[in-house]
């Protein structure tokens, strides 16, 4: 009974907030606070949505953007985790590379934009390059830190039970850092999505970021809002997808202590 009311509340309350938001939006539009060309009505956005879906452009742009973010993200993770493990285990590697890694971690990937365009031209590769930079360095640092906090006792156990070097990696180090790595993946996937949109706005000929700029250039504020809504929803869905990783039984321990 209690659970039912809670489920109902979890659906009703956000719906109520959304309704109030749309009502406010409509009120501001009706009051004419902003010029009509600078402020679309909710209805115009719904019509714009229908148009974008019908022409297939919305789907195309979404797929393009998701493709870029997926490739850039996966490549950064595939290289970042091994690099982080290496730096976490080897003091000399850490001493050598940590300052540089920190530097690039704190350098906005968007600052690379001019070079990205010069080197890779306008298109997939430039966006992927920027996404890679935005994910790789945080993943390296988080993985390295996670390796550093693995309790020594697990390695003693590994030695006691005769685990060899490679097994220590696969059966102790990697499972021990997995909860923290997953948290980092969630954060960096969000960043990657932000960077992708920004990259496409400047260095794109397609994708949702480009669609935003295109709508602006065409003074189609209705389409602009359509793109914004889709960008936001996809961002939420990416996080929902990655949050599933935290439900894998062998990593739950990291979130329940």
Partner 1 sequence: MTGCLELTNVSVSFEAVEVIRELSLAIVQGEFVAVVGPSGCGKTTLLNLVAGFERPSSGSVECHGQVRMVYQEDGLFPWATVTENIALGLRHIGDRRERKRQIGDLLRLIRIEGFEHHYPRQLSGGMRQLVELARALAGGSDVLLMDEPFSALDYLTRLRMRNELARLLSEMPRTAVLVTHDIEEAAQLADRVVVLTQRPARIRHEFTISTPRPREPTDFAVVDAVRRILAELDVESGTEASTK
Q: Could you tell me if 143 and 85 are in contact, meaning their C-beta atoms sit under 8 angstroms apart?
A: yes
Give the residue with the Cβ less far from partner 1, 70 or 183: 183
Nearest partner of 179 among 205, 208, 157, 149, judged by Cα: 149
Closest CB 64 distance from partner 1, rounded Å: 38
SS3 track for 96-140:
HHHHHHHHHHHCCHHHHHHHHHHHHCCCHHHHHHHHHHHHHHHHH
Q: How far is the CB of 251 from partner 1 (least distance, A)?
A: 7
> What is the distance of C-alpha 145 from the center of its chain?
21
Nearest-approach distance from CB 139 to partner 1, in angstroms: 20
| Lookup: tokens for 199 | 């990259």
Sign of CA dihedral 66, 244, 132, 82: negative
Nearer to partner 1, 103 or 253 (CB): 253
217 scored as a contact of partner 1 (CB under 8 A): no
CB of 37 to partner 1, least distance (A): 57
Question: Is the Cβ of residue 176 or residue 197 nearer to partner 1 in the bound state?
Answer: 176
* Residue 252 near partner 1 by CB under 8 A: yes
**What's the rounded Cα separation, in Å, for the pair 214 and 14?**
31
Contact set for partner 1, span 134-193 (CB under 8 A):
151, 153-154, 156-157, 159-162, 171-172, 175-176, 178
Separation of alpha carbons 13 and 237, rounded Å? 20
Nearer to partner 1, 80 or 254 (CB): 254
Spatial separation of the C-alpha atoms in residues 44 and 42, rounded to whole Å? 5
Q: Per-residue x/- mask for partner 1, residues 220 to 249, rule CB under 8 A?
A: -----------------------------x
Shortest distance (Å) from residue 246 CB to partner 1? 13
Least Cβ distance, residue 155 to partner 1 (angstroms): 9
Distance CA 34, CA 42 (A): 14
- The footprint of partner 1 on this chain (CB under 8 A) covers a number of residues equal to 22
Residue numbers of the site for partner 1 (CB under 8 A)? 151, 153-154, 156-157, 159-162, 171-172, 175-176, 178, 249-254, 256-257
């Amino acid at each position: 009974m209690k659970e039912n009311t809670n489920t109902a509340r979890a659906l009703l309350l956000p719906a109520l907030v959304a309704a109030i938001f749309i009502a406010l939006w409509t009120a501001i539009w009706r009051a004419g606070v902003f010029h009509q060309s600078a402020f679309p009505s909710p209805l115009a956005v719904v019509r714009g949505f229908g148009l974008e879906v019908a022409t297939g452009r919305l789907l195309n742009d979404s797929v393009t953007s998701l493709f870029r973010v997926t490739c850039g993200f996966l490549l950064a993770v595939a290289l970042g985790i091994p690099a982080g493990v290496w730096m976490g285990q080897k003091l000399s590697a850490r001493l050598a590379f940590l300052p540089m890694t920190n530097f690039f971690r704190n350098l906005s990937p968007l600052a690379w934009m001019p070079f990205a365009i010069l080197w890779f031209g306008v298109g997939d590769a430039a966006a992927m390059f920027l996404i890679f930079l935005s994910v790789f360095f945080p993943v390296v640092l988080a993985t390295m830190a996670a390796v550093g906090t693995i309790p020594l006792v697990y390695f003693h156990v590994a030695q006691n039970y005769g685990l060899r070097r490679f097994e220590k990696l696969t059966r102790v180090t990697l499972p021990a850092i997995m909860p923290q790595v997953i948290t980092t993946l969630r954060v960096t996937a969000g960043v990657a999505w932000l960077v992708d949109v920004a990259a496409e706005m400047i260095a794109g000929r397609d994708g949702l970021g480009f669609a935003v700029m295109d709508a602006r250039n065409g003074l189609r504020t209705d389409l602009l809002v359509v793109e914004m809504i889709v960008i936001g929803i996809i961002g939420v869905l990416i996080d929902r997808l990655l949050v599933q990783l935290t439900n894998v039984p062998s990593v739950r321990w990291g979130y329940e202590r």
